[in-house]
Structure 1
Amino acid sequence: MNATVATQVASNSSIKANAIKASFPVRRMDFEFNQVPEYWMNGSAGLTHFMTALSALFPDGEKFFVDSVRAVRYHPLLKDNPAMQKEISAFIGQEAMHSKEHVGFNQSANAYGHDVASLERKTNTVIQTFRKGFVKLLKPVGITQEMIDLTATTALEHFTATIASQLLRNEEIQAKMTDETMYRLWMWHAVEENEHKAVVYDVFEAIHGRGIKAYGLRTSTMAIAMVVLLITQSYFAYRLLKQDGQFNAKSLGVIYKYAYSFKHGIITGMLPELVDYFRPGFHPNDHDTNALLARWKEKLGFNTH
């Protein structure tokens, strides 16, 4: 192949790669949180602090997700796949926007005297402690830090997509979001978590396959990640309630009803999809949310994509 032909082939390949688009967009929302009331969940301190405890996890949690994927995106099994690279770029973009908006909300909660900033720092401490502890434990059997980080992100992305789909389905929780800004924040976030729910899993599978080692790694990590995440979020909710003088039967009762009861609870509603992650051959797209997303994108005015 002469130089002219080689240049033309490279140029055509570049054009084809540039023509490929991700299956979902990056939306910049730029919410204003200045007018958000202190107890924006229908005046309930319990529900507001429960959701704020979740929000405290996001800035550093989503940075960890982005860093984990960036660390492997040019792996030999991924770097020459333009479609996968577009999906990764869009995933990184969406997660960056989520982190940005939750930082904004968390700062507004701080303005009311709720110490969300210290909880954000604790999130990073939890992440670093467990990721470094796991690699120290598993390094003798050939598990690297990149593998731990990517596998944890794969598991936690399924967790976030699952709680997001519950938010999109649970009309009782939606009705409690009486502040329009916070309603749109959480519904936008939930839509996007489901739009990109398969990206990290596909990255993991492309690199590590579906063998016994990959299965054992992803399922054991999910089991540990669920326990760590739920304990951390529960502790954060306790801290917020305690600092606010709202750690009482009324607050705990409403949290139980809308988070953990079998009839209404958003956490208990997640269980079937969370358990399905342990099934051999599982894939996030086995849980079809296309119709759900189409309905919510129309409702939120995201009709362009």
Structure 2
Amino acid sequence: MNAKVNISNRAGASFPVRRMDFEFGEVARYWAGDDAGLTHFMTALSALFPEGEQFFVDSTRAVRKNPKLSDPDLQREISAFIGQEAMHSKEHLAFNSSAQAYGYDVRTMENQTAKVIKTGTKVVAQLLKPFGFSKEMIDLTGTCALEHFTAVIASELLQNKHVQAIFNNKTMYQLWMWHAIEENEHKAVVFDVYTAMYGRGLKAYGMRATAMILAMTLIFITQSYFTAQLMKTDRKLTLKDSKYMLKFMYGRKGFITRQIPELLDFFRPNFHPNDSNTDQLLADWKLKLGF
């Protein structure tokens, strides 16, 4: 492990909080497959994480004192979830700063992500308030949808050797694999909070289905815009320079394309994140990374 690892368990939660201290000083400009398109695609994803993870934390904290969430086991899971997400935000901020040093304005992208989240949730809250949907419910269901998205990406990353092979830099490899492990460790926490709060009735289902559609639309638009901006900075916003990345990510068997069926699984009325069992996958990867 090319990082200092400090592991703590939040009062007996089913997963620990690992404090990572990665060093990004030696990360090359094009650290993913020596390719600008692949590197900028992944950097654009990273630009979403600091504000996105903070949104997850804030949404969960806003409801955690509700009597419906008084179960001690669930409270321990919430604490560990918040701890892991805080570490993800910390490390992606550090990586984003290293990308900033190459002349990429990732800090502005982080700020734009915050505006997209704030504006999106505010507009939805105003539109749905007359129908009895609270801001807390909207934020939490948005977090459920986005947590499913990150868990699916993480699972694919841990299973797809073709994608793993693009990480030329050891630090970046470990950053993304550590993040992927933890996204799968806590993938059910917010969903369990949401169902404890709002149940599984038609109203709760309709809200989370709507949230998934809106979240995926906003992510696709925002992340694509960020990728294009990064490519433009390098004067590589051309079909020639983007062609390999587009095929790798969105081709018939591309990294993103392969995830569509599992992403759509969220729309099943009886869906639960743990329906996709990744226990052995996580055990193998934790052993591999020395956790």
Q: Please give the TM-score of this superposition, normalised by the length of structure 2.
A: 0.95
Between the aligned partners of 1:91 and 1:71, the Cα distance in structure 2 is 14
Between the aligned partners of 1:21 and 1:258, the Cα distance in structure 2 is 41
Equivalent AA in structure 2 for residue 194 of structure 1: N
Distance 1:76 1:38, change over 3 A: same
- Give the match for residue 158 of structure 2: 168
**Contact kept? 2:10, 2:80, Cα under 8 Å:** no
Equivalent AA in structure 2 for residue 84 of structure 1: L
Query: What is the SS of the residue equivalent to 1:28?
Result: strand
Between the aligned partners of 1:292 and 1:272, the Cα distance in structure 2 is 19
Q: How does 1:174-253 map to 2 (within 5 A)?
A: 174-253=164-243
How many Å apart are 1:144 and its aligned residue? 1.0
Equivalent AA in structure 2 for residue 192 of structure 1: E
- Give the match for residue 145 of structure 1: 135
Distance 1:69 1:19, change over 3 A: closer
TM superposition outliers: structure 1 runs of 4+ over 4 Å = none
Between the aligned partners of 1:243 and 1:178, the Cα distance in structure 2 is 22
Between the aligned partners of 2:182 and 2:234, the Cα distance in structure 1 is 32
Between the aligned partners of 1:130 and 1:148, the Cα distance in structure 2 is 10
- Give the match for residue 266 of structure 1: 255
How many Å apart are 1:100 and its aligned residue? 0.1
Aligned equivalent of 1:281, options 265, 270, 273:
270
**Contact kept? 2:84, 2:182, Cα under 8 Å:** yes
- Please identify the structure whose Cα radius of gyration is greater: 1
- Give the match for residue 301 of structure 1: 290
Between the aligned partners of 1:127 and 1:294, the Cα distance in structure 2 is 34
1:155 aligns with 2:142: no
1:60 aligns with 2:61: no
Query: What is the SS of the residue equivalent to 1:29?
Result: strand
Aligned equivalent of 1:51, options 30, 42, 48:
42
RMSD: 1.2
Equivalent AA in structure 2 for residue 173 of structure 1: V
Between the aligned partners of 2:150 and 2:233, the Cα distance in structure 1 is 27
Aligned equivalent of 1:41, options 32, 40, 43:
32
Q: Please give the TM-score of this superposition, normalised by the length of structure 1.
A: 0.91
| Count of matched residue positions in the alignment of Structure 1 and Structure 2 | 283
**Contact kept? 1:22, 1:87, Cα under 8 Å:** yes
Could you say which structure has the higher strand fraction?
2
Query: What is the SS of the residue equivalent to 1:163?
Result: helix
Between the aligned partners of 1:250 and 1:203, the Cα distance in structure 2 is 46
How many Å apart are 1:258 and its aligned residue? 1.7
Show CA shifts across 1:176-200 (max 9, x none). Answer: 1010000000000000000000000
- Give the match for residue 87 of structure 2: 97
- Give the match for residue 129 of structure 1: 119
- Give the match for residue 11 of structure 1: none
How many Å apart are 1:20 and its aligned residue? 5.9
Identity %: 61
